[in-house]
Amino acid sequence: MNILFIGDIVGSPGREAVKKLLPELKKEHGLDFVIANAENAAGGSGITSRVTQELFESGVSVITSGDHIWKKSDVFEIIDKDERILRPLNFPAGAPGRGAALFTAKEGAKIGVVNLQGRVFMEGLLECPFKTARSAIEALIKETRIIIVDMHAEATSEKVALGWYLEDLASAVLGTHTHIQTADEKILPGGCAYITDVGMTGPYQSVIGRRVEDVLKKFITAVPTRFEVAADDIQLHGVVLDIDEKNGRAKSILRIQKKLLS
């Protein structure tokens, strides 16, 4: 089974990249299922009903998120209604939505998706992502061996540690949040595909998706500055996973960096 995981989608440039590049990627890699982190897809921070619908219409199967999931009030109207939208599983009890779910791909194959958020250098009083993940995966494994984990975290050590912690349970542990694609993709001994960060889908002539001049002003002057989404050099970054449907082990992980040509 071939699964594409798309790195953090930033604003309308990121959504445009998905819309125009995903059909080509589906043909090129024979994709069966598409997961995208889209917590920054609406105006550069948060998601809305219109934005999620646009992404689903573009071919995304499941949306994962992270610490910006609550930035737009519209999310409270949709997150309990649409199981294709996930928020980090380790939010405290009582938070809206869900952080793990079972989905059906082509020809009836079942895929479990788990969304987590790290605690190192991250805001929020969250539950332990390690214990939370293991509990959710042990429940999902009763239905499928194919389990994809989005670890939305700042600290590389926390992401690497989670990969090792789940290497004999998950098909893949994929890092998001930093918007910078790392070059450490690998298959861990237990058959789990791993990468510290899958990257960003959006404008790369930027500082992690925002206009360079806005970010520089904030760093140089320390004055609060509105960060606008940049517009140039739009790219789609992510990974393509080849997963054995019988045992859920990853056979390969391929980094993707595809430019949107004007």
Closest Cα partner for 166 from 191, 185, 183? Answer: 191
Which of these is catalytic: 29, 68, 177, 237?
A: 68
Q: Kindly give, in sequence order, each residue whose CB lies less than 8 Å from that of residue 138, ignoring residues fewer than 6 positions away.
A: 169
Closest Cα partner for 116 from 78, 139, 90? Answer: 90
Catalytic site residue 29?
Answer: no
Q: Which two tokens stand for residue 1?
A: 């089974």
Q: Are 112 and 143 in contact (CB under 8 A)?
A: yes
Closest Cα partner for 152 from 196, 204, 209, 201? Answer: 196
* Residue 171 burial (C-beta neighbours within 10 Å; 0-12, 13-18, 19+): buried
Give the whole-angstrom CA distance, residue 16 versus residue 201. 9
Q: Are 105 and 33 in contact (CB under 8 A)?
A: yes
Provide the CA 253 distance to its chain's centre, in angstroms: 15
Other C-beta atoms closer than 10 Å to the C-beta of 134 total 16
Q: Which residues are tagged catalytic?
A: 68
